[in-house]
Chain A
Amino acid sequence: QVQLQESGPGLVKPSETLSLTCTVSDGSISIYYWSWIRQPPGKGLEWIGDIYYSGSTNYNPSLKSRVTISVDTSKKQFSLKLSSVTAADTAVYYCARGLTSRGRLVWFDPWGQGTLVTVSS
């Protein structure tokens, strides 16, 4: 049963870059899409973007100018960088495996436990 675990700083200063890593265990990183999704405190879910194991990426247009997602298949890890953060980027950040149908990203399963990142000076 594949498991995902997010890691990274829980506090980031405004205007700096948020960096998180997701480690995949007990499963292959190949074939699937690997996604980042965030949830501001008390609010709903927002898809940030995804990366295919081959390295191709898709980003939410609302964040595209500030987001970079990368993958290291040898370490079974994928990473998120979000630049120029503000308080509005404070959220629980989840990594998740994206299932595919006809080569397209469909639903997410499983999800990591999530990590709270607070943007504050």
Chain B
Amino acid sequence: SAVISQKPSRDICQRGTSLTIQCQVDSQVTMMFWYRQQPGQSLTLIATANQGSEATYESGFVIDKFPISRPNLTFSTLTVSNLSPEDSSIYLCSVGKGLTQETQYFGPGTRLLVL
């Protein structure tokens, strides 16, 4: 398994500003992912954070809006830029663990409210 922490756990931001979310894992992992969960909805994958290279973004998500860093095998950040009320969501990071790295372990999430 993996122990994952996220900071901050929640924040209230003004529109037009940015929020950077940190994800820390207790062991080295290859696969690291960022998800968004809009109110009352399911999870949508934003991007895969790759160590040593640019993140791989899913359709509908772009680097300018969601820049991601992955400086090492235990840490990643997701920035949500130029915030609007539509960005109000829970943002979760996850890591793939196990022999085949198919099982994902999730952080507790960051709850963002944009006013």
Judge: A and B partners, yes or no: no
Give chain A's interface residues, CB within 8 Å of chain B: none
Give chain B's interface residues, CB within 8 Å of chain A: none
